[in-house]
Every structure is written in structure tokens, then in C-alpha cells.
Amino acid sequence: MEASPGYLQLLRTRPAYRSLWLGSVVSLAGDWFTLIALYSLLEEYTGSSEAIGLMLMARFLPPAFFSPLAGVVADRLSRKHVMVLCDLLRAVVVLGFLLVKSRDDVWLVYALTFLQMSLAAFFDPAEQASIGSTVEPHEVVTANTLQGATWSAMLGIGAVAGGILTATVGRDASFVVDALSYLLSAFFISRAAVPRVVQPPPPATLAGKLGLSDLLEGVKLVRSRPEIRRVLWVKTGWGITGGAALMLYAVMGRHVFGIPGSPDAGVGVLLGMRGIGALVGPLLARRLGGDAPEFLERAIGWAFLVTAVFWVAFAFSPNLVVAAICLALAHTGVATQWVFSSSLINLRVENRFRGRVFAVDSMLFLVVLGASSWAGGRALDAFHISPRTLMASLGVILCGSGAVWWWLRSEKA
């Protein structure tokens, strides 16, 4: 097996992947600007933790409806054209947040968020499947690690900058920045030479014309391959608690570890440190163990434990500085799970099936993430559980998800 390239070497020698990566850099930064602004908007107009949970649920649920179709689209149509169209439409949608000016307009937050993430449900599997077709097999883990590092770096930069921009200039500026980032992303992706997928013609039946036969073909692949089935548990297993945790980051950033006079800045600090941890985790894990699939699977198991331990430590942190460090350490584990599970899908799934498998992975993950975010907000508002107690409980529950992963690995076939 050829040696894995360095990250800069990969960007120099793979222009198609480089264009995809540049699109990610700008659009991801813009997304974090918008999320911070929405936290601020909902806090001002509703003062409700459940409202934040509902907004997160609106972000996470669209794949439950559209991922099966999105996977078929990513495997049948030009993945580049799908991504560019989604970016252009998302630029229009996020400008709609400018219309929210009072509590009576809050329903628009949920509707526009649902539209934005519905488009993401089509964009994401097309992008993830494209990574494996724009690099060589021995470069897959490098490409996915760089993609994950980019997500993390943009979280750190975008969350901190978004918190500062929202606090100093106002929310509307954040929404405009996000719209511009989507337009720039569409420009970069339009320049990428993403190979088209070679697929056999669909059956000349109604099921074939509707894409149902493609969908069933993908389901059969997952059912017949245990090494693929267990990888689909990784993000879903974290998502069972992850949605509530993401909601708590915003709540605790404002009300437990808030900076006097600038609560949005406190949220930005926590999310920024989350990004730093997510940046370091996969890079460090890969340097310690390499790219072999067996190591990637072991690292995923240990990453569950790392996240759980530091979530509990975060729950009982005495101040913002300690809390931010604990959150960074927790997300070294989360990001390692994400990057390594995506790499395993790219390595183990043939190109013509990747869109569908990534879509199923996204659907399972985001359904449980959405339910978790609503349940967490409900627990705070209706049952008056303290944020610290709920956060510590999530760490304990996550240990159970990790145990399931180790059990699935022991059931190899």
C-alpha cells in the first residue's frame, strides 16, 4: 500500500479535491456565524431553552425525510451540479432570517432552518461521496481528516468571530456573511472536476423511474455487509446524547459560564474551544495509529470514552476557562469518531453506492440528534433539571453507546 500523502501535498496534487475543500472552508465559517446569531435571536424573543431545542431539531430532522432520496440523487446525477444548486438556494434561504424582527416572527426561524437543512440533506451525501472519487484509495483517510480539520477550524474561527460580530454589529450582519459564503462555495465547487458515477440503467418499471430500486439496492448492500452496518452506529450512537449536549452548550454558555454584559461571547468561546478540540483529535489519533481500518475502529471505541469523561468534567467545571478546556478535550473524541467513521465508509463502499450509504448514515444520525435536542430542552423547561445535572447524565449515557460499539466489533462476520 502506498504511503499516505501530507495534507498540503494532497491539496497541491488533487485540484478537484482542493476545490471541494475551499468550498467547505468558506461555507462552514458562515454557518457558524448564523448559528450563534440564531441562539441570540431565540434567547431575546423567547427566553426558552425549548425554543433552542426546537431550532436544533429543525436543523436535524430534514434528513429523516429527504436522505433516502438524496442518496439516490447523489448516485444518479452529477454530484457537482447537486452541490452548486444547493449552495445557491441556501444563500437565498439564509437571507430570510433578516425578516425575523419580533416574537411573532419566530416561526420563520424554524421554517427557514428546516429549508436550509433540507438542502443540506442533498448537499452533504454528494460532497462526502465526492471525496472518495477525487482522491486515490491511499489518500482517503488524509482527505477525510483534512475535511474534518477544516470543519473544526471553521467552527473555532466562525463561532468566536460570529459571537463577536453578533455582539458588536448585530445579527443581520451574520446572516449576510453566511449568504455570501454559500455563493463563494458554489463558485469553488463549480470549478471541481468531480467524476460522474457510472451506474447501470434503472429498471424500466415505476420503481426504477422513481428511484426506489436504487434505494432498495443500497439497503441490500448495508444488510449484507456487517462491516458497513456497524460503522453506521458511530454517529448515531453519539447523536443519542449529542443533540441535548449541543443545546446545553448554548444554555450553559449564556447562563452558567456567561460573560457579564456579553452572553453571546460566552457561547462563542465554548463553541470555539469545541472546534479546537475537534481539530486536534483526528490529527493526533492518526499520527499515533496511522490509517489502517483496524486502528480506525479501535480509535472510535476509545473516542466514545474520552467524550463521556470530559462531558462529565464539563458539567462540573467551576468557571468558563475550565469548561472550555473540558469541552475541547471532549470534542477530540467526537471528531475522531466522525472523521474515522466517514473514512471507513469511503474505504469500504464502492463509489456507485457511496451517496446512498452516506445518506443513510446522515439520516440515522440526524434523526436521533433532533430528538435528543428537543428532549434536552424539554427536560430543562418542563422538569426543571439543572443544566449541570443533565450534562453529566449525558456523559454517563454515552458510555452505553460506546459499549454497543465494542459489542458490534466483537460480532464481526
Over residues 135-160, the mean pLDDT reads 81
More confidently predicted of 257 and 233: 233
Over residues 288-300, the mean pLDDT reads 90
Position 402 pLDDT exceeds 50:
yes
Per the prediction, the chain carries an average pLDDT of 85
Position 5 pLDDT exceeds 80:
no
Position 365 pLDDT exceeds 80:
yes
As a three-state string, the secondary structure of the chain is CCCCCCHHHHHHHCHHHHHHHHHHHHHHHHHHHHHHHHHHHHHHHCCCHHHHHHHHHHHHCHHHHHHHHHHHHHHHCCHHHHHHHHHHHHHHHHHHHHHCCCHHHHHHHHHHHHHHHHHHHHHHHHHHHHHHHHCCHHHHHHHHHHHHHHHHHHHHHHHHHHHHHHHHCCHHHHHHHHHHHHHHHHHHHHCCCCCCCCCCCCCCCHHHHHCHHHHHHHHHHHHHCHHHHCCHHHHHHHHHHHHHHHHHHHHHHHHCCCCCCCHHHHHHHHHHHHHHHHHHHHHHHHHHHCCCHHHHHHHHHHHHHHHHHHHHHHHCCCCHHHHHHHHHHHHHHHHHHHHHHHHHHHHHCCHHHHHHHHHHHHHHHHHHHHHHHHHHHHHHHHCCCCHHHHHHHHHHHHHHHHHHHHHHHHCCC
Structural domains of the chain, ranges and CATH numbers in brackets: 11-193+224-410 (1.20.1250.20)
More confidently predicted of 327 and 42: 327
Per-residue pLDDT band at 413 (split at 50, 70, 90): very low
- Least confident stretch, 216-225, 233-242, 366-375: 216-225
pLDDT at 242: 93
The pLDDT tens digits for 108-132 are: 999 999 999 899 889 988 898 888 8
pLDDT at 140: 87
What percent of the chain has pLDDT above 90?
35
